[in-house]
């Protein structure tokens, strides 16, 4: 393991990363810093490329466990510890919020993709979301879209609150293609056996790369958000192993075993329309907490959100969002 365990992240937080000319590592891998906290690696031999991979973290600045993992892997690659057989774009998302130790500065960045930043004020997050869209579009477009090399995007997060299932993935609505059992199997190998299958578009980073870059993209929730240096309880060893394997071009997946996964689909969203909104759940309620049929989950003036789905659970309950945004998701069990 490299002893440069905090070098790249420290440079990012100190404002010492920006656009730089490409260069080569001692092992021949190509490196270029494209923007603050955005770094790209390519294999020494172009024909070695087996995968185009984007790994993003820190879209919310206080979700630090995945930031620490990604930093560790970036430092390993910079130290020449891996023979790359993939093109990789690492993204540290909301750098200013990371510096402040806050979720965001002005706006929730993960509601600003798919050009939703055009509807926001000129905020830190709006400008950054636009820039990140440009970077991933260029990254995936550089070698065309002939389908010869898989495209994968993992957007790494931790949640505001705890979860009945500690780690879970959100699989964006796939449009013209079906949800892929092989990718769900890979998530299981990464320690993420609970997957929420979305049924509609959303303004998230993973949906953007799924829809507009034709990548297999996922939002991964990897435990509870904690400050830097306080993530000892968050075990990301399995995910780290999968990411390192992908860097080296090991892209095969194990057989999909339905019984090994908990799959859910979105039944409906709870939207906060006004300041009258009330969520009838305690602050300590965890993600995927079951709700009984007939339970009044929320109300917003005359709008009532009463549970009528069997097996319903709540995900991302948050009454503090801005008006017009999602304050929770009602999910139900499903299968492929």
pLDDT tens, 147-190? 789 999 999 999 888 899 999 999 998 777 789 999 999 999 99
One domain, residues 310 and 244: no
State the number of CA atoms in the 13 A half-sphere of 51 facing the CB. Answer: 21
Output the CA torsion 49→222→258→334 (10° steps). Answer: -120
Q: So what's the pLDDT on residue 3?
A: 40
Q: Which residues are catalytic?
A: 221
Residue 160: name the closest of 113, 103, 203 by CA. 103
Q: Rounded to the nearest 5 degrees, what angle is found at the Cα of 54, between the Cα atoms of 174 and 68?
A: 120
- What whole-number percentage of the chain has pLDDT above 90? 82
> Average of pLDDT values for 262-266?
96
Q: Is the pLDDT of residue 1 over 70?
A: no
One domain, residues 86 and 198: yes
Q: Is 63 annotated as a binding residue?
A: yes
Residues forming beta bridges with residue 165, ordered by sequence position:
none
Computed over every residue of the chain, the mean pLDDT equals 93
Q: So what's the pLDDT on residue 266?
A: 93
Q: Is the pLDDT of residue 320 over 50?
A: yes
Pairing relation of β-strands 194-197 and 262-271?
parallel
Number of compact structural domains in the chain: 2
Band the pLDDT of 76: cuts 50, 70, 90.
very high
Residues forming beta bridges with residue 56, ordered by sequence position:
91, 155
Q: Is the pLDDT of residue 60 over 50?
A: yes
State the number of CA atoms in the 13 A half-sphere of 282 facing the CB. Answer: 5
- Of 259, 284, 319, the domain-final residue: 259
> Average of pLDDT values for 42-58?
95
Q: Is the pLDDT of residue 40 over 50?
A: yes
14-35 per-position pLDDT tens digit: 998 888 889 999 999 999 999 9
Residue 122 lies in a domain: yes
- What whole-number percentage of the chain has pLDDT above 70? 97
Give the whole-angstrom CA distance, residue 3 versus residue 56. 23
Q: Is 255 annotated as a binding residue?
A: no
DSSP 151-169: EEEEEEEEESS-BSSSEEE
Band the pLDDT of 211: cuts 50, 70, 90.
very high
Residue 107: name the closest of 95, 122, 93 by CA. 122
Band the pLDDT of 283: cuts 50, 70, 90.
confident
Q: So what's the pLDDT on residue 2?
A: 39
Band the pLDDT of 6: cuts 50, 70, 90.
low
Give the whole-angstrom CA distance, residue 161 versus residue 141. 37
Q: Which residue has the higher pLDDT, 160 or 289?
A: 289
Residue 223 lies in a domain: yes
One domain, residues 75 and 166: yes
Q: Is the pLDDT of residue 145 over 80?
A: no
Q: So what's the pLDDT on residue 119?
A: 77
- Of 210, 235, 259, the domain-final residue: 259
One domain, residues 154 and 255: yes
Provide the residue range defining the domain that includes 322. 267-333
Residue 138 lies in a domain: yes
Band the pLDDT of 5: cuts 50, 70, 90.
very low
Q: Is the pLDDT of residue 121 over 90?
A: no
Asked whether the beta carbons of 62 and 227 are under 8 A apart, the reply is yes
> Average of pLDDT values for 232-247?
96
Band the pLDDT of 264: cuts 50, 70, 90.
very high
One domain, residues 95 and 227: yes
Q: Is 60 annotated as a binding residue?
A: yes
Residue 2 lies in a domain: no
Q: What is the CATH number of the domain that holds 39?
A: 3.40.630.10
- Of 204, 233, 259, the domain-final residue: 259
């Amino acid at each position: 393991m490299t002893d440069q365990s905090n070098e790249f992240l420290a440079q990012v937080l100190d404002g010492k990363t920006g656009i730089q000319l490409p260069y080569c590592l001692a092992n021949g891998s190509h490196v270029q810093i494209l923007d603050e906290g955005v770094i790209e690696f390519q294999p020494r031999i172009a024909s070695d490329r087996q995968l185009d991979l984007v790994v993003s973290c820190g879209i919310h600045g206080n979700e630090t466990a995945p930031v620490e993992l990604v930093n560790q892997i970036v430092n390993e690659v910079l130290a020449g510890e891996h023979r790359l057989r993939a093109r990789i774009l690492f993204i540290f998302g909301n750098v200013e919020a990371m510096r402040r130790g806050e979720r965001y500065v002005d706006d929730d960045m993960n509601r600003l993709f798919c050009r939703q930043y055009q509807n926001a004020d000129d905020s830190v997050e709006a400008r950054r979301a636009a820039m990140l869209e440009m970077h991933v579009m260029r990254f995936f477009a550089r070698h065309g879209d002939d389908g010869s090399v898989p495209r994968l995007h993992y957007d790494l997060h931790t949640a505001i609150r705890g979860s009945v299932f500690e780690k879970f993935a959100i699989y964006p609505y796939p449009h013209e293609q079906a949800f892929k059992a092989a990718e769900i199997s890979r998530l299981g190998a990464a320690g993420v056996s609970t997957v929420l299958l979305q049924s509609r578009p959303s303004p998230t980073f993973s949906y953007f790369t799924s829809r507009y870059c034709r990548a297999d993209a996922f939002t991964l929730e990897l435990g509870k958000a904690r400050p830097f240096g306080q993530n000892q309880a968050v075990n990301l060893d399995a995910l780290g192993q999968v990411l390192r394997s992908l860097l080296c071009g090991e892209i095969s997946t194990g057989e999909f075993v339905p019984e090994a996964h908990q799959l859910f689909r979105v039944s409906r969203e709870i939207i906060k329309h006004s300041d009258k909104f009330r969520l009838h759940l305690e602050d300590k309620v965890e993600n995927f907490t079951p709700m009984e049929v007939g339970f009044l989950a929320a109300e917003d003036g005359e709008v009532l959100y009463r549970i009528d789905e069997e097996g319903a659970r709540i995900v991302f309950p948050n009454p503090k969002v801005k008006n017009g945004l999602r304050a929770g998701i009602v999910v139900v069990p499903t299968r492929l």
